[in-house]
Amino acid sequence: MRIFKGFFGNKAEEVDYGRMPLHIAIIMDGNGRWAKKRGLPRNLGHREGSNTLRRVVADCCDLGIKYLTVYAFSKENWKRPENEVEALMGLLLEYLKNADRELAGRDIRIRILGDAAGLSEEIVREIARVERSTRDNKGLNLLIALNYGGRDEIVHAVRSIAEACARNKLKAEDICETTIAERLYSAGIPDPDLVIRTSGEKRISNFLLWQSAYAEFWFTDVLWPDFGKRHLLNAIKEYQTRNRRFGGI
């Protein structure tokens, strides 16, 4: 059994590499509040949050995590002020354009989960380029939920099933959980084992509704820009104490 030890203050956190979560999903919340506490514009909070994401991606690589899904921009986020939306999209575009440098030679595959409708042509082109250029990488799968909504994803799957039935390619009695899962944006990706939400909020906010049916949740008051490796390790350590029965005894 391989143990990772990281010392924070006088406390040693021990994480068992033999029982790591296969898939971690993170609701990255608190950028605006982080900036407000410091008397800074919200957009600077988002930039600091993007720096945190870079560090967390590197940490997940080092820990051997195979899948990391991050909630970057929800369907509901379009309701935010126009300048804030533009700043968020600008940060995303910057990340995509500099993907090779951002990955720093790490074996990472990038995929986008969400609806391309509403995104700029430039972002759509960069998404296609980055997904294509990283598709053969075998290390961490970095899944970015962009223009994403859990309900919207399920509606998208249901429409696909309805169309298949209308074309007589699928019978109603043959519809099962697998039928739906195969039509989600996350088709072929294991469901998350651990969902982390920062900033003290304790809700799922329309994130991976179908996929999180049996996920373990870990909430922290830490604002996303302040989230670090010790918090990630604490979440994993608590996950390893959970008894995951999946409805059994």
Q: Which residues are catalytic?
A: 29, 77
C-alpha to C-alpha distances, 48 to 34, 54, 78, 97, nearest whole angstrom: 9, 10, 20, 18
Please provide the DSSP assignment of 131-191 as one string.
HHHHTT--SEEEEEEEEE-HHHHHHHHHHHHHHHHHTTSS-GGG--HHHHHTTSTTTTSPP
Beta strand 67-74 with 11-16: parallel, antiparallel or unpaired? unpaired
Which residues, at least 6 apart from 162, have a Cβ–Cβ distance to it below 8 Å? none
* Count of other CB atoms within 10 angstroms of residue 115: 16
- Residue for token pair 């509040």: 33
And the tokens for 77? 């986020």
